Amino acid sequence: MSVPAVEVSRPDAADAGWSRDEIAARAAADIPDGSYVNLGMGIPQLVADHLDPAREVFLHSENGILGMGGAPPEDEIDPDLTDAGKRPVTIVAGGAVFDSSDSFGMIRGGHLDLAVLGAMEVSAGGDIANWTAPGRTPGVGGAMDLVLGAKRVWVLMTHCDRKGGPKLVPACTLPLTGPRVVRRVVTNLGVFVPEDGGFTALELAPGISRETVVRNTGAPVRFALGRQE
């Protein structure tokens, strides 16, 4: 997708590259038609707003929705219709609501093609840490079920944390949600795949240089720009 971006001089590149909505839109563009997809908290929730309604992608929410749509206009918000993160959503024609036990039966039964999650860290081996950090109240939610039950896991997140430290790292320092599960990471700086002891950059956000990516990544980075996954 073509989105304008301006590289900045801040060492963490926090304001460079894609916005949160652009990260979500970039991920939405690559979701295969016919997929059953769970959207996690944070940036992944925005993916629902960037899927073409004409496409056949079935969004699942762990609180009990299949056929979830994007956010409604403010004057059409139904306080009883939210995703698992309490964000107001819609339901597409043919969608359904059901008990959370049925929802987790879908997850644990291996019926989801893709889980799109946020993260605090992703390691070069594909490990994900996204449920607790020092000073935060632990909240596992459904993440541990999703990383094991979904056929694929993608992560959408900022490239650096609030202090400017890298979130793509050689090994996670935070408690793991799941080992060796992440297949793709989309950050404000680009699209990355964890492999071979580092990260391979498949695409860089507009205005982002290789040097910016290397400087803000905690593990080795290779570049295979344009490679199809």
pLDDT score, position 133? 82
CATH of the domain at 79: 3.40.1080.10
pLDDT score, position 218? 98
pLDDT, tens only, 159-212:
999 999 999 999 999 999 999 999 999 999 999 999 999 999 999 999 999 999
pLDDT score, position 138? 66
Q: Per-residue pLDDT for 79 more than 70?
A: yes
- Residue at 9 is within a domain: no
pLDDT score, position 29? 97
pLDDT score, position 10? 43
- What percentage of the chain reaches a pLDDT higher than 90? 86
List residues with catalytic annotation.
62
More confident residue, 141 or 96: 96
168 three-class SS: strand
Q: Per-residue pLDDT for 51 more than 90?
A: yes
- Residue at 7 is within a domain: no
- Residue at 12 is within a domain: no
Contacts of the segment 19-24: beta carbons below 8 A, 24+ positions apart: 19/188, 20/46, 20/188, 21/46, 21/49, 21/50, 22/188, 22/205, 23/156, 23/157, 23/186, 23/187, 23/188, 24/49, 24/50, 24/156
Number of domains in the chain: 1
Q: Per-residue pLDDT for 14 more than 70?
A: no
- Residue at 2 is within a domain: no
- Residue at 132 is within a domain: yes
101 is in which domain, residue-wise? 20-223
- Residue at 228 is within a domain: no
- Residue at 142 is within a domain: yes
CB atoms within 10 A of CB 165: 12
pLDDT, tens only, 106-158:
999 999 999 999 999 999 999 999 998 877 766 777 999 999 999 999 999 99
- Residue at 101 is within a domain: yes
